[in-house]
Amino acid sequence: FNGLRYDIWNGVTVIAFCAVLYNISLLFMSRYSVSTWYISRTIEVVSKLTVMVIFMCHIFSALRVTKNIAHRDPLTNIFNRNYFFNELTVQSASAKKTPYCVMIMDIDHFKKVNDTWGHPVGDQVIKTVVNIIGKSIRPDDLLARVGGEEFGVLLTDIDTERAKALAERIRENVERLTGDNPEYAIPQKVTISIGAVVTQENALNPNEIYRLADNALYEAKETGRNKVVVRDVVNFCESP
């Protein structure tokens, strides 16, 4: 894209230079035809329109980049906390009665990873876990970094049993694929704890939904870590 942009600017420069030379040549003509005048004006208009189009493209490109930065986590390039809560607000306010799920995941003993191996390795662990989670969820599920070593997933059109199975798959994949694995090259095995809530009720506001998921995560960590706790608005189920 950058190469094309520079080529376009070079072309515009040539057109504008030709327009200037053509207009200067008209000054030294005692007489010239209407067609000559139209050619001069056409070159001038084309060069100006081209510049305007390029400027507009630059503006829209800058806006897209700014919007992307505002919604993305700089380390992992997944969505950030603000975007996650915006989407959760939209989902919780939806008039549809289809079930949806909020999962909150936390890397177990992450402080020990940082203290033992340093923050660069800690960052690599975060990116590795994000990569594994991203490959474990469905294409339409929304993954975000909602805290330092904490991640959220928003899943639509899913019931409690399927949410539990998906959470277990994520947990198992993280445990299985980290450690002695040349694909990710992190020095130790990593596990995560997952808390989730499944609801159909649009009466719950986003903060209440998130609090329920966070409470489920807290229970998973307090009862041994490397486990999944899934709740719905009425029932409770636990996976060891």
- Catalytic residue annotation: 149
Q: Is residue 64 within a helix (H) or strand (E), and if so which, with residue range? A: helix 34-71
Given CA atoms 82, 162, 128, 188 in this order, what sign does their dihedral have?
positive
Dist. CA 85–CA 92, nearest whole Å: 10
Burial 58-70 (b: 16+ CB within 10 A, else e): eeeeeeeeeeeee
Dist. CA 228–CA 170, nearest whole Å: 10
For 198, how many CA atoms within 13 A lie in the half-sphere containing its CB?
Answer: 23
Q: What are the phi and psi torsion angles at 79 (to 5°)? A: -65, 155
Residue 4 CB burial class (10 angstroms; 0-12, 13-18, ≥19): exposed
Dist. CA 145–CA 142, nearest whole Å: 10
Is residue 65 a contact partner of residue 121, using CB atoms and an 8 Å limit?
A: no
Give the three-state DSSP class for 28: coil
From first CA to last CA, the distance across the chain in angstroms is 50
